[in-house]
Amino acid sequence: MTQQIKTNIMTLTQNQIDRLSNDIQKYAGSETINVELVHNTIYSYTSELGAYRIHAKYNNTSKGRVLFSENLNTWVFALDL
Q: What is the mean pLDDT of each run of 10 residues along the chain (81 residues)?
A: 48 83 91 87 93 89 92 94 82
Q: Residue 51's closest CA among 70, 29, 73?
A: 29
Q: What is the pLDDT of residue 71?
A: 94
Q: What is the pLDDT of residue 10?
A: 60
pTM for this one?
0.80
Q: Residue 50's closest CA among 67, 68, 32, 34?
A: 32
